[in-house]
Structure 1
Amino acid sequence: MRWPRHVASLLLTAVLLVGPPILLVRLVGWPSIDSPQVALWQWVRDPLTEQNLILLLVGLAWLLWAFVAYFVTAATATRVWAGVRWLRRLPLPTPWQATATGMAGAAALTIATPTAPTPDASHPGTTTTTGTDHDIVEQADTADGVALSGGWLPYEVAEQVTAAAGLVWLRRRRAYRPTRPHRHSQDAQDLAPLPSTVAAIQAATGSRPPPPVSAPAAGLPPIGFPPTGVGLTGPGALDAARGLLITALLATLRQNTVELVITRRAVDILLGPAAPHLRPGAGLRIVDTAAHATALPADARPSLSHGAEGGRRVLILDEPPRSSLANSGATMVVLTAWPHATTWYVEAGGHTRTSDTANAGPRVCVLDTVATTDLLTVTGHLQPPAPDTPTQPQPQPQVRVPRPTAPHHDTIRPDKRVLVRVLGEPALLVDGAALTVRRTAARQALVFLAVHPDGVDSHLMAEALWPGLPGQRLTGRLYTTLSELRTAARTAGLPIIDRTGDRYRLHPDHVDVDLWYFHRAVDRAAAILADPSTAWQAVVDAYAGDLAAGHAWAWLDPHRESTRRHVLYAYAALAAAAPDPRQALAYLQDGIRVDPYNADLHHRAASILTSLGEHIAAADLTDRYTRRLATAGLTAEGALIRGGT
């Protein structure tokens, strides 16, 4: 509690202001001299008299009191003026707002307050769980959803976005074919980070445990819309339709029991410039008109035929169908009022109510055009445009793998007292002893600086660590986080973070990083053309595990995958150079343990087993790999795996 300290401070200030004048007046009296000339002449003739010394001390005491009084007065005036300026900026309620506030207060006094929050059955995912960790990303405006700059998602939908983002990286791992790394840098399109909307959702879902999910209200499928169909009006109508588009496609990825049918004009309305790049397939069908959508046979898709459990076709139409229930097996959503069915008025935040009454409906997912385009990249339904296409929807930058510019040396230098380990579980060590870094954000910042040895601007670092948060709130968080790192390493007596202007880096003169040593090993191996096996073995030996193993920060995936690819190529190079096929097989099996989702390594291993006549082992390897992909929601592509053939 702070109020006792405030009271004590006020009492001390009062004593300092009132006490000295009272004592001086009672003991000495008010300052008084006959005339300045007489007093000065007396002091010159005999300066060390008792009277002159007392007068000097009394004068000094009054000057000291005057200084204290001036300081207190100035500080008080500053605070009062700050309060006045704050009151001047405080927005006053308009008459309408004042009236609404009064009515709400009167209503609140007539309603019994429950002793504990009760989940609303009409809002899937409602919970009373709140976060307690001071590093939690403050992006969720309610316990059952995630708020973004581009809309609002129910927590269940946000979790599906995070899962779909994970599938994107698993597909990239599956498709990668080990390629010799460039010596200084590597640009790879399939290492591009996912869009900022995805990163913000990943940060929000990863900042707290998932809440218990309530059962949806009767008659409402998981997508949140009435199965009999609905028309949409209001400022959030189009955003709600975009939210439905993403929700249905995510459901298709998860269960393959939802098919989304949308008219071309509805696509143009919802996606704008990105509309030409929306591609059908994997649960998405684009038709010309609403009549074509409602005329589709009910059993056009096997997963939806014969009333499959949970299976449903969702239609997004730009205009109402000619009949009220032209296709009773589908949920129809119309981007305008629908005279023959229920019409919802959708607010900007996703809250719904029927247009003819004040009855509140569920809160639905709402997304703007940019957020929808971002999320379509993880569902796999957005075809990247050609580079010269003028309507390119936010192309993602290529990733440049960082290379250290610190002094090069062949091993981790023992003369450096501070060692940062980021391959495997991150750790900060001073003189070989691991230090405790309490804040999750501080550990994340340590890894971020390790993968950017040349340094990084503070605003870029803050946006990566806390995606989706307002920029004005990031500076203080970053300073607090870096201060935590400095405090943790204070026992070393050395600065571990070097700051030049607005750019931060780990101090290369005092700190060494295992990732930097790994990169140097990769550079040496890539530069050797004749018999590089020893150098590639050094790369394998330097790899102690996945980058920041056990952590799922949104910015981490490109750097983690780049590091993993280097060691996969090292194993592939060692296998290619091995004279004994069984030794080559052992190298490939070690590579498969590093990345059990890579198709190329499995194909090479299966080919060696087949050449050795071990057809059963080759088929078993292929079957295990296929099952692993199926468990993750993937399939083996084409002829990458041909065990036994």
Structure 2
Amino acid sequence: MVLLTVIGPPFRGWPTSEQLRAWLQQPLTEETLTAGLAIGAWLIWLLVAYTVTARIIIRLRATTAWLRRMPLPTPLQATASGMAGAAVFGITTNTVTTTSPEPPQPAPTGTATFHDDTAPDDHRDQAARDDGVTVAGGWLPRDVAEQVTAAAALVWLRRRRDYQPHPTHPDDTDLTPLPPTVTAVQAALADTPTPPPSDESAAPFEALPAGGVGLTGPGTLPVGRGLLVTAILAGQRHSSTTLIVTKATLALLLGPAAETLGRRLPLTIVDTADDATQLLRPTSPVAGEAIPGQRQGETSSGHGHRKMVLLNGHDGSEQQMKHLAETGTATAALVVILGEQPDGPNWHADSTGHLRDPHHPDMPNPRLCVLDQIATTDLLAIIASPDSAPPRPDNGRPPLPYAGPPELPRPRQAARHEPPRLSIAPRQRLHLRVLGDPQLLIDGEPLTIRRSAGLQVLVYLAVHPTGADTARLTEAIWPGLPRRSLTGRLYTALSDLRSTIRTASDLPVIDHSDDRYRLNPAHVEVDLWGLRTAIHQAAAALTHTSTAWQTVLDAYPADLATTRTWPWLDPHREATRRRVIDLCAALAAKEPNPHHALQLLQDGISIDPYNADLHRIASRALTDLGRAEGRATALPPTAR
């Protein structure tokens, strides 16, 4: 339309027969060449116009389909028309916040959603505010989320304690990742400041009326699951908190997992409301049965002891429910009925966890933890005591950073027509340090990497020398989030990382080929790769074992990314540590000098003071040396 309006068509009308005969006799004239060039320019212009139009139509269709699938938080937020216009014209808009108390809808399974608009771009979806963290299937208060991360840390400490070093066939089958909801909570709290500690066990007791309350509304069961998890977590930290739940209520909240999971949880399961009433009394009529969490000689009305009873309206008659509520009031216990309570306060619970007293609408509406069955079982799995014979994963061992010979990167092969460039020394020396605080050093000077995702990419590729594709990187850095929304974020992090490195060095650090990223071993040194080589050489050494072991100690100054709490790190960090203590146990076993063997074991205990097997072997070595009385003082200070 612009050409037709401003310039006009390339020629007017069709050529006459006389013009055609003249063209056949002399085709290359100034007039015919001009006409041919004009027609070619027009065809190119039409091709460009068609391409632009087709791209706009495709973009509009994709945007429309995305808007249909995108869950809107509320009808008042971010209208679809405004977002469509921003998507079409590529305008970056700020997040619109409203005063509506309704939180965003749950994200996909295992996804953590965050609410800190002032966080850096990397953590806008991974920085929890002080009020709580939204995960797939529910919402957790900040205190509860921190207890979940503490419970996850205890899982890894138990695995460290129970591992038995083996020089040739290490057993790493217990290094399975934690459930998706747990890793989502860990990712939400990773690299975020921790608020001052608070008495989190008092939250449900202070939010709900004294004595007891009945919960009604669509959020009854989600709030009940949240109370179940909150009370159990509080009991893990404060032994004065006890949870009593009926068998039917546990099955209602957990579904099929109630039978197998319930017997492994630190709670008291009763059959009826009368049984719960008996347990609330100062002296239980069940002979010889101690109330869980209660110290010897302490009654249920003892100072500081809190009890919570969780049941539903079908666990007893109306008279039994009244009796239970009266006993709860007399003993300062909290009785929560998932359903309407006869002759008692009944609060309405919505699906977001907000509670409302219909008789006092002006009172503040507290918000409690809300969870669905999947999220609840995920969180309870890290609290429950392990089975006597835990099942082995069907897919074998998880991918670990080292299991056997070192996995060393190989430099790219030079093209056939290019001579090798091995004799050309780089102008700068790049060293990636991932043991301890991760840093990229250029000529010995640390380079500031602004985005946490960029630093995670470097550490992840150091752990996986053969490289990783886009899917594995995004799943590790942003656990649970849909990949289609993360590819662009990964490209942004990589672009910013390359730009940061380019300002200080012209050497390419990350290679990208066939959707696979890997560190360039010709330009960057990694301390983890050197450690793997040292372990492999020390394990194969027949002589000079002390020197080989000292080389390993020098190459292992600290744990893998010890200052970081990224969820994907835990299996690799533990596996790396295990390879070091495996070598320690192997060298100590074949060391003829018992004093040198004891020194090796002491070094291993300094590396992993939680490993019970190393302590057992060291104690036996002390006994063999006739120093049984000095076992407590002969071990390193960190192990005692």
Q: TM-score range by the shorter chain?
A: 0.7 to 0.9
Relative to 1, partners in 2 of residues 1:44 and 1:117: Cα closer, same or farther, differing over 3 Å? closer
Relative to 1, partners in 2 of residues 1:385 and 1:58: Cα closer, same or farther, differing over 3 Å? same
TM-superposed deviation, 1:232: 2.4
> What letter matches 2:349 in structure 1?
V
Name which of 302, 305, 310 aligns with 1:311: 305
Name which of 493, 502, 516 aligns with 1:481: 493
Matched, 1:236 2:219: yes
In 2, Cα distance between the equivalents of 1:86 and 1:77? 14
> What letter matches 2:309 in structure 1?
L
**Structure 2 counterpart of 1:636:** none
**Structure 1 counterpart of 2:210:** 227
**Structure 2 counterpart of 1:108:** none
Relative to 1, partners in 2 of residues 1:356 and 1:422: Cα closer, same or farther, differing over 3 Å? same
Name which of 165, 173, 182 aligns with 1:178: 165
Name which of 562, 565, 571 aligns with 1:558: 571
Q: Identity of aligned pairs, percent?
A: 42
Work out whether residues 446 and 485 of structure 1, in 8 Å CA contact, stay in contact via their aligned partners in 2: no
Relative to 1, partners in 2 of residues 1:384 and 1:150: Cα closer, same or farther, differing over 3 Å? farther
**Which 10-residue stretch deviates more, 302-311 or 363-372?**
302-311
**Structure 2 counterpart of 1:544:** 557
**Structure 2 counterpart of 1:326:** 327
**Structure 2 counterpart of 1:158:** 145
**Structure 1 counterpart of 2:278:** 295
**Structure 2 counterpart of 1:362:** 366
Name which of 231, 235, 260 aligns with 1:277: 260
> What letter matches 1:465 in structure 2?
I
Relative to 1, partners in 2 of residues 1:533 and 1:291: Cα closer, same or farther, differing over 3 Å? same
Deviation track 1:79-137 (CA, whole Å, cap 9, x = no partner) reads 37855885698679xxxx99999xxxxxxxxxxxxxx99999xxxxxx99644211116
> What letter matches 2:162 in structure 1?
A
Name which of 46, 52, 55 aligns with 1:75: 52
Work out whether residues 453 and 505 of structure 1, in 8 Å CA contact, stay in contact via their aligned partners in 2: yes
In 1, Cα distance between the equivalents of 2:58 and 2:563? 51
**Structure 2 counterpart of 1:460:** 472
Count of residues in correspondence between the two structures: 568
Name which of 559, 574, 583 aligns with 1:570: 583
TM-superposed deviation, 1:591: 2.5
Name which of 415, 432, 442 aligns with 2:454: 442
**Which 10-residue stretch deviates more, 65-74 or 358-367?**
65-74
TM-superposed deviation, 1:294: 1.6
TM-superposed deviation, 1:384: 6.9
TM-superposed deviation, 1:253: 1.9
Work out whether residues 219 and 349 of structure 2, in 8 Å CA contact, stay in contact via their aligned partners in 1: yes
TM-superposed deviation, 1:427: 3.8
Work out whether residues 540 and 570 of structure 1, in 8 Å CA contact, stay in contact via their aligned partners in 2: no
**Which 10-residue stretch deviates more, 58-67 or 419-428?**
58-67
* 1:334 aligned counterpart, secondary structure: strand
> What letter matches 2:555 in structure 1?
A
Structure 2: state its 5+ residue gaps: 79-97, 103-113, 284-290, 412-421
**Which 10-residue stretch deviates more, 417-426 or 524-533?**
524-533
TM-score by length of 1: 0.72
Work out whether residues 534 and 551 of structure 2, in 8 Å CA contact, stay in contact via their aligned partners in 1: yes
Structure 1: state its 5+ residue gaps: 1-13, 102-115, 121-126, 389-393, 629-645
Relative to 1, partners in 2 of residues 1:334 and 1:69: Cα closer, same or farther, differing over 3 Å? same
* 2:269 aligned counterpart, secondary structure: strand
**Structure 1 counterpart of 2:511:** 497
> What letter matches 2:481 in structure 1?
L
Matched, 1:379 2:363: no
Deviation track 1:398-440 (CA, whole Å, cap 9, x = no partner) reads 434345555789xxx9989765442233344678776554321
Name which of 224, 232, 235 aligns with 1:249: 232
**Which 10-residue stretch deviates more, 250-259 or 430-439?**
430-439
**Structure 2 counterpart of 1:10:** none
TM-superposed deviation, 1:259: 0.9
In 1, Cα distance between the equivalents of 2:387 and 2:51? 64
In 1, Cα distance between the equivalents of 2:491 and 2:65? 30
> What letter matches 2:235 in structure 1?
T
Deviation track 1:192-245 (CA, whole Å, cap 9, x = no partner) reads 22111111000001153245789999x964674333212223332222111111
**Structure 2 counterpart of 1:350:** 353
